[in-house]
Structure 1
Amino acid sequence: MRPLVAHVDLAAIRHNYAVAKRCAPGREAFAVVKANAYGHGAREVVSCLHDEADGFAVACLEEAAEVRALHAGARILLLEGCFEPAEYLIAAQLRLDVAVQGPEQAQALLAAQLPSALNVWMKLDTGMHRLGFSPEALRDWHPRLRQAPQVAELNLMSHFANADLRGDELTEDQVACFLSVLDLDFDQRSLANSAAVLTIPAAHMDWVRPGIMLYGATPFSDIGAAELGLRPAMSLEAQLIAVREVAVGESVGYGATWVAERPSRVGTVSCGYADGYPRHAPSGTPVLVGGQRAALAGRVSMDMLAVDLTDLPEAAVGDRVELWGVNLPVDEVAAHAGTIGYELLTKVTARVPRRYRS
């Protein structure tokens, strides 16, 4: 068996959900499990939070159906709403909470013949300009949806653009925009993503939506997950499968981008971009070999990557390699690769086996 495994600590996910609840006392929390629970396995994550989560949030009907099969009674929020008019019937059959993010979706909802009314979340565009009604359009559509037989609860939601940048002016403007429509009659309100759960109590409203924090990564560039009390849920672990001596002036890997400046030892690791490790991670990106730091050497290949072991003379074939995890934060690796922890976690591919501990 190829020595590459993503170990997933379900107890860490339960711990991180509890952190979100402690940050927003008295509020309810949708555990965001879209994108296969950020690469951790939706089935296992939903099961581990079965008796703890107030609800779950997903991006599409396929994800919602998977959650419903695992939890008959869960409140499940469809974050992007229905993409086709026919999907409203499926949403009603699955007993979903459905976002309505614009006039087209609202019109399709009002035209739908449904067996039961839906809990609807009107999405307000508070300044991100991705999805949502303008404040004026929201005021226009509110009474129509409030009176519609297709609607049970009528709720309000929005999404932050810059909550990960503390003290950002746009975030203040978005909160003010959200508050400006609360004279309208809404049953429930939701605004806070992970960053806002952790640092913006004014945004907590009735429901919070912890996403990346559930998986033990930070939404911030200047505060680590450990400082926030979060525990990493995934450790991506491989193995040294070869070690060789490389003379001064010799290169390693495709494109010959890494050249030995001293007599070097280079190890080959059983992980590559087909497993989800970022191909664009540069030389110098950290890894842990036998618990000690080493650095990427040269370009990441499809199934392998190389590391400079020159300062680890005891490193040998068979040694454990942590690409990220408990001892090497995924956010640190992501920063070296010019991306964010979200992307690394969600891109771990299906060929990497997940092993779970609770």
Structure 2
Amino acid sequence: MPRATVARIHLDNLRHNFRIAKERAAPARAMAVVKADGYGHGIERVARALSGDTDYYAVACLEEAAVLRAAGLSQPVLLMQGVHEADDLRISEAENFTVVVHSPHQLDWLKAGHGRPEVWLKVNSGMNRLGFAPADLGRVREQLAQAGIRVAGVMTHFACADDEQSQGTAQQTEVFDRSTTGLGDIVRSVANSAAHFRPGQPLFDRTRPGIMVYGGSPMLERYGPELGLKAVMTLESRLIATRELATGDAVGYGETWRATRPTRMGMVCIGYGDGYPRHAVNGTPVWIRGTRAPLIGRVSMDMLAVDLGDIPAATIGDTVELWGEHIPVDEVAACAGTISYELLTGVTRRVPRVETGASTSVNTGSDL
């Protein structure tokens, strides 16, 4: 029999979260960001589940977009990192992939006639990763026009949208608006998940919700449920052993936790080899029999220990929720000094994904 360690993927919650993004984006239109294997949930699985709710997908790279076409999904796909080889432009043209152009070498490939896919330009509004300088947008657009390529959209990415106290997002928005006003009939896109929750934030024409679709909070010091989001992944395992510890007994590698009183301990068959964060501190919560129980000792590759003192009825075989409906993944991430994005995308291949909810949504055609 296999281990009882699984990641349950709640597709109805996925659709719930995406519809929140659409509502908050309106009158802008949201596209579903499914990069990084659908944030660890399975790119084909989540894309199919959202197929009736979105008219556009966004991924990082060509390989991810190809998975969507192999799954029979026909919606346009935005390659947010663009292409990495000149020949990929022809593939993108044939497959109806929209290519983000952010660097001179990509511009040169297009000018050289390697392919004519739909193109968006990326402007560097202040994050200083990828993108053309604002002053260069007009020149770049003209060069593409001379090569017979129409620029269909322009985008940027925010550095601090998760921080409601930061003025950086307002500054980036101003730079973007100023540099793209007057470009005519062109799609403008700035909004990551966090931008959907910033009061008064201009969202322009297209938004790109990512982590919020999977139930994680995009805002600092707030958890997904506070924002009306539902957990899409429930990571769960079971108790496989219990032990009575005496005062002074230590648990785990490095003896990082020691009992200060007689303690009933439980062992859970999940560890960092499954993607649970090794750096989760003592006290990180799990959920057993309707009660929170604290992590004790260092997380091992295949196991971790919890204090069962407040759950006297807990026994071998009980289900343990590591994150999900009762334990927000954002809270576990905070206990491990990281973010929910890393935890969700870090669940390893040896953890089976088990779907719940209908696998495909129904497109009424009324809200795309």
Query: What residue ranges of structure 2 are gaps of 5+ in the alignment?
Result: 358-368
Give 2:362's aligned residue.
Answer: none
Q: Which residue is equivalent to 1:36?
A: 37
Match of 2:169 in 1: 171
CA contact (8 A) 2:289 2:311 kept: no
Q: Number of paired residues?
A: 355
| 1:276 corresponding residue in structure 2 | 275
| Structure 2 match to 1:326 | 325
Distance 1:98 1:36 in 2: 19
TM-score normalised to structure 2 length = 0.93
- 1:236 maps to what in 2? 235
Aligned residues of 1:118 and 1:152 also touching (Cα < 8 A): no
Misfit runs of 4+, over 6 Å = none
Alpha-carbon deviation of 1:200?
Answer: 4.9
Q: Identify which range, 310-319 or 92-101, moves more after superposition.
A: 310-319
Structure 1 match to 2:51: 50
1:273 partner SS = coil
Which residue is 2:218 aligned to?
A: 219
Structure 1 CA distance for aligned equivalents of residues 138 and 165 of structure 2: 29
Contact (CA 8 Å) 2:121, 2:151: kept in 1 or not? no
Deviates more, 1:162-171 or 1:316-325: 162-171
1:296 counterpart residue number = 295
The whole-number CA distance in structure 2 between the counterparts of 1:37 and 1:106 is 29
For 2:47, give the aligned amino acid.
Answer: V
Counterpart of 1:158? Answer: 156
Secondary structure in structure 1 of the residue aligned to 2:118: strand
In structure 1, what residue type is equivalent to 2:33?
A: V
Q: In structure 2, give the amino acid aligned to 1:171.
A: T
Provide Cα deviations, 1:225-265, integer angstroms capped at 9, x if missing partner.
22222111110010000000111111111111111111111
Q: What SS does the aligned partner of 1:220 have?
A: coil
- Partners of 1:89 and 1:112 within 8 A in 2: no
Q: How does 1:1-358 map to 2 (within 5 A)?
A: 1-114=2-115, 117-149=116-148, 151-181=149-179, 182-185=181-184, 187-358=186-357
In structure 1, C-alpha distance between the alignment counterparts of 2:82 and 2:289, rounded to whole Å:
46
- What is the CA distance between 1:88 and its match in structure 2? 1.1
Q: Which amino acid aligns with 1:322?
A: E
Q: What SS does the corresponding residue of 1:214 show, helix, strand or coil?
A: helix
Q: Look up the SS of the partner of 2:31 in the other structure.
A: strand
CA contact (8 A) 1:50 1:71 kept: no
Instruction: After TM superposition, give the deviation of residue 6 of structure 1 in Å.
Output: 0.5
- Identity across the alignment (%): 48
In 2, the alpha carbon distance for the partners of 1:53 and 1:201 equals 24
RMSD (CA atoms) = 1.3
Q: CA deviation at 1:291?
A: 2.1
1:227 and 1:300 mapped to 2: Cα distance? 28
Task: Specify the SS of the correspondent of 2:147.
Answer: coil
1:70 Cα shift? 2.2
**C-alpha displacement of 1:202:** 3.6
* SS at structure 2 position matched to 1:334: helix
Counterpart CA distance in 2 for 1:258 and 1:105 is 53
Following superposition, the deviation at residue 59 of structure 1 comes to 0.7
The Cα offsets for residues 48-88 of structure 1, whole Å up to 9 and x where unpaired, read as 11121121110111100001222442010000001121211
Distance in 1 of aligned mates of 2:268 and 2:214: 25
